[in-house]
Structure 1
Amino acid sequence: MDETLASLRRPKRGRPPRPREDHLAAEDFEEEGEDEEAEAEALARPQTKRKRAASAAAAAALEDQTLIDIIKHNGRLISHAVKKLVEDYESDPKSVMFQILAMLFEACGARHNFYADYLYEADVDGVVFSLVELAKKGMVEDNYNTKQKDLKNFKENLVSFWDTLVHECQNGPLFDGSLFQKIKDYVVALSCTPPRVYRQVASLVGLQLVTSLISVAKTLSGQRETTQRQLNAEKKKQTDGPIVESLNKKLAHTHKSITYLEELMRKIFSGLFMHRYRDVDPEIRMSCIKSLGIWVVSYPSLFLQDIYLKYLGWTLNDKNAGVRRTSILALQSLYEVDENIPSLGLFTERFYSRMIQLADDVDISVAVSAIGLIKQLLRHQLLSDDDLGPLYDLLIDEPPLIRRAIGELVYDHLIAQNIKTSQSGARDGNNDSSEVHIGRMLQILREFSDDPVLSSYVIDDIWDDMKAMKDWKCIISMLLDENPLTELTDMDGTNLVRMLRASAKKAVGERIVPATDN
């Protein structure tokens, strides 16, 4: 056995020999270099072959599948398919436009029999009327709402296709004034038709188009800023040579492209969003509001204006809880960015009362989200303490999720505000901080002192956020201290005892409010 193990062991290696000090001939270096290059080429060859093989396989797969087949079942081919469309567009724009529009109709579920020449020349309204007639005859398959497993990625792939198409076309067809104008016309027209699936698909596509156009516009805006800086630097040299002329042309071209994209966004907004944000289908309404929130945050130079913001305010009154919550979450994203606040002044003044009302919404998820939004308004000092009065009643009057959210707001706004890290006296900094927090908590509890049950609710709501309430040493010290930082009444002493008792029970996992409310 030992012999067998010994035979499997590696032999001991000696110390590697020291390199020779004598000089090598130049020919030796050349031979070594050639060997290394040959070795690198040999290693690179398999990778190149694999890439070529993958491209060839993708090309072969594309030959056998239409665009709608790829979107339904083979999303990994979307990038290859779009690149081929863009390549073919230069030589045969009519065929490419037909393929894209036909896919749009098929994504809506319409079993059409249009051909390229007709679709290229036909009136948009006439084509859409024919598609609506197909729906009336039942010649539509609903890919959008289907539960089929093989179509589970349909929406994701559809969005990916249009996003990829916009980005692949940004150096050509996007700005030719033909392809995307035609796409825009059909998307807007389909979004205004009676068949629900047409509106759903067209809305999804149209909203994604704006999102993708914003991405391209932001890239161009960055290029415009860079070009402007270069131009300013050249002008400081006080020379009007070919460089300045070239930069001026580039700046004008970039600005023209951005203006074109923004106009395309406006047309989709006015033609699609302004009608679909109040669609009878709440899912379409939610998609519109969610997208608008993304647009305002990502492209404020165009969308951070009251003419667009008002739609977020209006949908705070939507009858569907999901739409209301979507609007609140969109607003949270806006108020999270400090640079947006000056532009939100008029909007806040107009809609803040509705935001406060939503903290008492019948839907718990909406109410909790609204409380989070109110916290952001407080952080930016956009609300007064008088505005918050009705909210404090929710500490004792609502389901646990709402009470916890209000408790967090009360802690952040009334207890943790303006903490002084040092106080006069012999106490250390931690006790000072805890004592200040507990003093503010006692002020709140005075409003509920007549009822120990209500006091327990308030303590329960704030306990998770307030570390000072777990500082039993500080609480006991305040009970025994003859010279506290703040003058304590007998009721304060009672509340300190309640706080200590409740905190001890919470610490060991016991409930301090009725089980049905936890």
Structure 2
Amino acid sequence: EMQNMMNAIFKGTFLNRYRDVIPEIRATCMEEIGSWIKTYPDAFLNDSYLKYIGWMLYDKQAEVRLKCLLGLQGIYSRKELVSRMDLFTSRFKDRIVSMPLDKDHEVAVQAMKLLMLMSQNCEDVLSAEDCETLYQFVYTTHRPLAVAAGEFLYKRLLSHDGDEVQPKGGGKFGASTDQLKRLIRFFLESELHKHVAYLIDSLWDWAGKLLKDWECMTTLLLK
């Protein structure tokens, strides 16, 4: 009976209002469909419902796009749901990858956070080209976006499974050496040498300990 009621609400209200002329109503529709999918995945986690969120990622109003991204974060954060998102992911991944360029700052930040979740929970969903594009956002002047990109860069490029914090006295044999080499290589290859301060600031929350490993840095400089 509950399922029938929810289907009636979906058909009678959502389908008539998700493209409403009032953006607040469209945003509310996206917020609620995202909540329904996350709460009742057996009934709603399929392309018949997900497609509406995908379509509205293109909405002209930032608040609507934002609600779509937040709803998707709630879904992609749960590994048990991600395996059922393959069709949606293949259809709308390119749109999501483009959204850190959104003119609205909060939309851009939440898009980067969603991409971090997708990277963690969807195997090989992002191509090397996608990642190279997203890494460059560490150099943006909008700090919240740069920090979100810093997390993406750190977890994708610098922090690998099995990396451990280098014990004191570990010298050049510690994991920190490899991480610093990867970071230096990224910086040199990005060819934005005047913007090193942006790179360090974006990584500070995630790699602060690495960036203060003076012993490791000294060892590298003396090699």
Give the structure-2-normalised TM-score: 0.90
Query: 1:428 is matched by which residue type in structure 2?
Result: G
Q: Does the alignment pair 1:385 with 2:156?
A: no
| 1:446 corresponds to | 188
2:15 and 2:143 map into 1 onto residues whose CA distance is 38
Match 2:56 to one of 304, 315, 327: 315
1:374 and 1:340 map into 2 onto residues whose CA distance is 16
Larger radius of gyration: 1
Kindly tell me: are residues 396 and 350 of structure 1, through their superposed partners in 2, closer, same or farther at Cα, counting changes over 3 Å?
A: same
Match 1:282 to one of 15, 23, 27: 23
1:422, 1:429 within 8 Å by CA — same for their partners in 2?
Answer: no
1:357-372 alignment, distance < 5 Å: 357-372=98-113
2:112 and 2:101 map into 1 onto residues whose CA distance is 9
Kindly tell me: are residues 405 and 261 of structure 1, through their superposed partners in 2, closer, same or farther at Cα, counting changes over 3 Å?
A: same
Shift of 1:422: 9.0
- Per-residue CA deviations over 1:157-190 (Å, capped at 9, x if unaligned) read xxxxxxxxxxxxxxxxxxxxxxxxxxxxxxxxxx
| 2:67 corresponds to | 326
| 2:146 corresponds to | 403
Q: Does the alignment pair 1:351 with 2:89?
A: no
Kindly tell me: are residues 302 and 430 of structure 1, through their superposed partners in 2, closer, same or farther at Cα, counting changes over 3 Å?
A: farther
- Per-residue CA deviations over 1:371-429 (Å, capped at 9, x if unaligned) read 00000111022222222232233222442222222112111111112343499xx9639
Kindly tell me: are residues 422 and 397 of structure 1, through their superposed partners in 2, closer, same or farther at Cα, counting changes over 3 Å?
A: closer
Match 1:457 to one of 198, 205, 208: 198
Q: Secondary structure at the match of 1:274?
A: helix
1:267 and 1:302 map into 2 onto residues whose CA distance is 13
1:89-238 alignment, distance < 5 Å: none
Unaligned ranges ≥5, structure 1: 1-259, 483-518
1:342 and 1:351 map into 2 onto residues whose CA distance is 15
1:436 and 1:261 map into 2 onto residues whose CA distance is 55
Query: 2:48 is matched by which residue type in structure 1?
Result: I
1:432 and 1:269 map into 2 onto residues whose CA distance is 56
1:435, 1:468 within 8 Å by CA — same for their partners in 2?
Answer: no
2:187 and 2:101 map into 1 onto residues whose CA distance is 22
Match 1:420 to one of 163, 168, 171: 163
Kindly tell me: are residues 429 and 348 of structure 1, through their superposed partners in 2, closer, same or farther at Cα, counting changes over 3 Å?
A: farther
Q: Secondary structure at the match of 1:343?
A: coil
1:322 and 1:333 map into 2 onto residues whose CA distance is 17
Q: Secondary structure at the match of 2:30?
A: helix
Q: Aligned pair count?
A: 219
Shift of 1:431: 6.6
Query: 2:46 is matched by which residue type in structure 1?
Result: Q
Query: 1:322 is matched by which residue type in structure 2?
Result: E
Query: 2:144 is matched by which residue type in structure 1?
Result: L
Query: 2:38 is matched by which residue type in structure 1?
Result: V
2:171, 2:216 within 8 Å by CA — same for their partners in 1?
Answer: no
1:224-303 alignment, distance < 5 Å: 260-303=1-44
| 1:112 corresponds to | none
1:333 and 1:353 map into 2 onto residues whose CA distance is 19
Shift of 1:430: 10
1:477 and 1:262 map into 2 onto residues whose CA distance is 64
Give the structure-1-normalised TM-score: 0.40
- Per-residue CA deviations over 1:335-354 (Å, capped at 9, x if unaligned) read 11111111100000000001
